[in-house]
Structure 1
Amino acid sequence: MPVWWVAQANKLSLTKPRFQHKVEALSKELTSAYPDQLFPCVSADLSSRDETRGLVDKVFQDSNISAKHKAVSILVANAGLGRRIRDIQNIEEDDWDSVMEVNARSQFVVVKACLPAMRAQSWGRVILVGSIASTGGGINGCHYAATKGALSSMGKNLSTVLAGEGVTVNTKAQILPAMIGFTDMIPTPKET
């Protein structure tokens, strides 16, 4: 499952069920280094539509956050479920659906949930973490590339639509797999 960083000023909420223990360790480390800041862990399975819809509300169920903040002002969305199935003949419809659900739909839902408050305060920042696969294919297959292409297009559309409202939307796509290779985020290729 992907990591979603929902940040408010210097406050950061981290969520990643697959690596929850690593996220909790990072939260403790950051809290120790910056005791005046908030670094709570919020878990959500972004392949679940119900959990995705409830993620932003779940962040604000943390009383430390809700006591200081009423809305997400900065959202860094980093959903990246990748399955290394290069040949389209080996990609099952379920593979397509699960990658599309996490990488494209969940980001759409979370961005949509954050926008009303950003628009109301005439200020917000949305950063969508894309992939070079959106324009160059890659090792993960056409289903992964399609999700990152969708994310790139969504970011371009939203940046145009929201520009006059004080909300900026950027898609960061120049993240190379070698840069995240040590994180266990790149899976072992699926046997065919």
Structure 2
Amino acid sequence: MVVDNEIKGRLALVTGASGGTHNNLRIGAACSRDLHAYGTRLALTYSTNKDSLDNLVAELLKQSKDLKISTHQCDVAKEADLQRLFDEVKHEHGQHPDILVANAGYGKRVSNILDIALEEWDYTINVNLRSSFILTKLAVPHMLEQHWGRIVYITSIAAGGTSINGCHYSASKAGVQGMSKNLANKMSKDGITFNDVAPAMITGTGMIPSEENLKGTPGDVKNIPVGRSGHTTECANVVTMLCRTGYMTGQSILLSGGLK
């Protein structure tokens, strides 16, 4: 069997890449930068922050004008938007993505179950879990056809129950991890790998600007074995690694500096 782990020239779809105030947006921008550095073409989505994504694209094009980058407005909570996204990607690039980084997410910090409205539960599950299912279902046919694909989900340490957020957020991320492991078991022989990266205490984002914001919480750096918070670029490094190896699948990588 020929081993093909080359991602140069491949097309990567990164959702939530605008680099806005939410943790995942900054992580999405970092993933876009790292994949671009390895020679991938990019299809990047934003929900409302178009200016921020345009700035990212301008930055990347200064580094290489030879790699095509397309941008797409998409509310991942809406199935019609996700279908339109794939239609637009096919129109722009002549194909569907070889790599899917399902990064766009939502997490309003409500800790007590008694304070979590049913509407909040439904919306969180919709954005974090249902959209990941729809994106995967749209991405898989092209990957099956060419017998090559990489799907990476951005989850959270919260999937294991450890979270300053509530059970709705933990449940949504745990659902993504379960889906990823199930699909890896069923489809990896078809040349498609499924993995997730579960970050924790990532600073340099709108949600956690600096380590000062972690003081007095379970994520205080004094509780993190490596003695510091994580960086969005470190999330991107792991995502790219997962894209560059076909021998790792069905794994959930906890990126937390040793925090459990």
Change (3 A) 1:22 1:185: farther
- Which residues in structure 2 correspond to 1:100-179 (within 5 Å)? 100-173=125-198, 175-176=199-200, 178-179=201-202
- Does 2:186 correspond to 1:183? no
Match of 1:93 in 2: 118
How far apart, in 2, do the equivalents of 1:44 and 1:105 lie? 15
- Deviation track 1:40-71 (CA, whole Å, cap 9, x = no partner) reads 21110112221123221222232xx22xxx22
Change (3 A) 1:185 1:117: farther
8 Å CA contact 2:89–2:96 kept in 1: the answer is no
Q: Which runs of 5+ in 1 are unaligned?
A: 187-192
Matched residue pairs, number? 177
Q: Please report how far the alpha carbon of residue 185 of structure 1 lies from its aligned counterpart in structure 2 after TM superposition.
A: 5.0
Larger helix percent: 1
Which of 68, 79, 84 is the equivalent residue of 1:38? 68
8 Å CA contact 1:55–1:110 kept in 2: the answer is no
How far apart, in 2, do the equivalents of 1:145 and 1:106 lie? 16
Q: Secondary structure at the match of 2:44?
A: strand
8 Å CA contact 2:129–2:176 kept in 1: the answer is yes
How far apart, in 2, do the equivalents of 1:154 and 1:144 lie? 16
- Deviation track 1:126-148 (CA, whole Å, cap 9, x = no partner) reads 11111110003301211110000
Q: Please report how far the alpha carbon of residue 79 of structure 1 lies from its aligned counterpart in structure 2 after TM superposition.
A: 2.5
How far apart, in 2, do the equivalents of 1:76 and 1:44 lie? 14
Amino acid at match of 1:110: L
Match of 1:3 in 2: 16
Q: Secondary structure at the match of 2:184?
A: helix
Amino acid at match of 1:93: L
Match of 2:8 in 1: none
What is the TM-score when the length of structure 1 is the normalising length? 0.85
Change (3 A) 1:185 1:28: farther
Identity %: 33
Q: Secondary structure at the match of 2:49?
A: helix
Structure 1: which 4+ aligned runs deviate by more than 4 Å?
4-9
Which of 100, 122, 125 is the equivalent residue of 1:75? 100
How far apart, in 1, do the equivalents of 2:117 and 2:79 lie? 21
- Does 2:82 correspond to 1:57? no
Which stretch shifts more, 35-44 or 45-54?
A: 45-54
Q: Please report how far the alpha carbon of residue 95 of structure 1 lies from its aligned counterpart in structure 2 after TM superposition.
A: 0.3
8 Å CA contact 2:110–2:165 kept in 1: the answer is yes
- Deviation track 1:54-104 (CA, whole Å, cap 9, x = no partner) reads 221222232xx22xxx22111111132001000000100110111111000
Q: Secondary structure at the match of 2:77?
A: coil
Q: Secondary structure at the match of 1:108?
A: helix
Q: Which runs of 5+ in 2 are unaligned?
A: 1-14, 18-27, 209-260
Q: Please report how far the alpha carbon of residue 3 of structure 1 lies from its aligned counterpart in structure 2 after TM superposition.
A: 0.9
Change (3 A) 1:61 1:185: farther
Match of 1:27 in 2: 57
8 Å CA contact 1:152–1:171 kept in 2: the answer is yes
